[in-house]
Amino acid sequence: MKKKINTYLLLTVFLTLMAALLMAVAIFHHIYRRQVVADMRTCAYMLKNMNWQEAEVQDMPEDGGQEGSAEDGDEIRITVICGDGAVLYDNEAENGTLENHSARPEVLTAKKEGEGYAVRHSDTLGRDMYYFALRLDDGMILRISKEADSIWRVFINMMEGIAGIAALMFLVCFFLAHYITGGIVRPIEYLAGHLEEAEKIDTYEELVPFISTIRKQHEDILESAKMRQEFTANVTHELKTPLTSISGYAELIETGLAGEDDVRRFAGGIHRNADRLLTLINDIIRLSELDSDRMEILFTEVDLYEIAADCVEMIRVSAENHGVTIEMHGYHCTVQADRGMIEELVYNLCDNAIRYNKEGGKVDVTVGLCGNRICLSVKDTGIGISEKDQERIFERFYRVDKSHSRKTGGTGLGLAIVKHIVARHHAELKLASEAGKGTEVSVLFRSE
């Protein structure tokens, strides 16, 4: 980044410098040109007022009275042209050797307007020829011409000076760019290594949203790493318990000391714990599936009442085994949802309502409208959940009474799965519970 800013800065300086210098040369040349024409005009009027005709043209020296060689280009050439364009006198040419000058633009303009000038470029000399023509009172034209440097010559002559100044300025800018870039980049570099000090560092206001996003992401990453670590530790612990039991039962059978009844009992233990392992692993897999964004949800129009009623029928035997009655209420309502997930959700809620119920208790499953939203509610008359536990029961592996949960086949993951499914459907989860009296869990779907 530093390199890039530096390069861009220097490039900008270089281009600006070049443009400024070129413009300066062009302006200088323009002023110079105007000055040359003005000088020639003054000279022409002076000659006119001198009454040169009386001073006799032939007395004029051939080089226009100027000293110096032709190469320095400073001499003035004087030409006297008759009204018809014939050259009467030229201080640099033999009389009668010059062609008719009537078509020369400066002569034409002077004839018409009294005075005229023209600049012609000579490629061979690489110089410009300046002409100023003045109409005299008798109709003759007095023309003064002078050679002067063209813009390229001016530029080439100035080149040495320009290059020197440009190099000096470039050097100054080089160090300045280096210093400025350092100043711009320093807070950003410091920030990279000291993100936690972001608030204390004096940075640019444009960076503030950027910093807060990075900090938020940083915190999220740390949080999710912590959660993953906790989850792994919990999973390991949960898997260890049934595996230890299975290993223990197997070891007892292995000794050969156990009688036939004991072996059957131990095999039963192995079976139970293996089932528990399977349930646990299934729940863990399910949760990680729901966690991953790659899992696609198949939204279709589903009848919530029908799903809930099917679930109630399926679970009725289990309810009876627990001495609990279960009833379905409400009416047919359709929602956009993933059928499989909704079945899982209703099953988990009904299963909990039965397992954490009391002998002779009741479970009411209702589907209907709550305000303008379709709602599913599972209400029981069970043991309830204390206020402090209510906040935590949706956490993975959180159980109010571990042994009760385990005894009834719980994994501590059922409500975590429910929470995920609800979130995936952009629905809302509500919990109302009172310890000793019962619990009601409601899921409010988005109104279409």
Q: In this complex, which beta carbon is closest to ligand ADP, that of residue 195 or of residue 285?
A: 285
Question: Smallest distance from the beta carbon of 401 to ligand ADP, in angstroms?
Answer: 6
Q: Which residue has the tokens 């571990």?
A: 402
Q: In this complex, which beta carbon is closest to ligand ADP, that of residue 326 or of residue 385?
A: 385
DSSP secondary structure code for residue 72 in this structure: G
Q: In this complex, which beta carbon is closest to ligand ADP, that of residue 39 or of residue 428?
A: 428
Supply 438's token pair.
Answer: 């019962």
Q: In this complex, which beta carbon is closest to ligand ADP, that of residue 21 or of residue 416?
A: 416
Residue 383, phi then psi, degrees to nearest 5 = -75, -15
CA distance 140 to 142: 7
3-state secondary structure at position 149: strand
Question: Smallest distance from the beta carbon of 433 to ligand ADP, in angstroms?
Answer: 7
Question: Smallest distance from the beta carbon of 378 to ligand ADP, in angstroms?
Answer: 8
Strands across the sheet containing 373-380: 325-330, 362-370, 373-380, 438-444, 428-434
Q: In this complex, which beta carbon is closest to ligand ADP, that of residue 32 or of residue 394?
A: 394
Q: In this complex, which beta carbon is closest to ligand ADP, that of residue 79 or of residue 366?
A: 366
- Angstrom CA distances, 311 to 58, 164, 298, 326, 345, stand at 131, 91, 20, 11, 10
Residue ranges binding ligand ADP (CB under 6 A): 352-353, 356, 380, 382-385, 393, 398-401, 405, 410-416, 439
Question: Smallest distance from the beta carbon of 247 to ligand ADP, in angstroms?
Answer: 24
CA distance 37 to 116: 10
Question: Smallest distance from the beta carbon of 271 to ligand ADP, in angstroms?
Answer: 20
Q: In this complex, which beta carbon is closest to ligand ADP, that of residue 25 or of residue 393?
A: 393
Q: In this complex, which beta carbon is closest to ligand ADP, that of residue 245 or of residue 357?
A: 357
Question: Smallest distance from the beta carbon of 416 to ligand ADP, in angstroms?
Answer: 6
Question: Which residues have CB under 8 Å from 397's CB, separation 6+?
Answer: 231, 234, 238, 411, 412, 413, 416
Question: Smallest distance from the beta carbon of 409 to ligand ADP, in angstroms?
Answer: 8
CA distance 445 to 428: 7
Question: Smallest distance from the beta carbon of 236 to ligand ADP, in angstroms?
Answer: 18
CA atoms 233, 234, 239, 245: torsion sign: positive
Q: At what angle do helices 339-355 and 414-424 cross, to 10 degrees?
A: 150
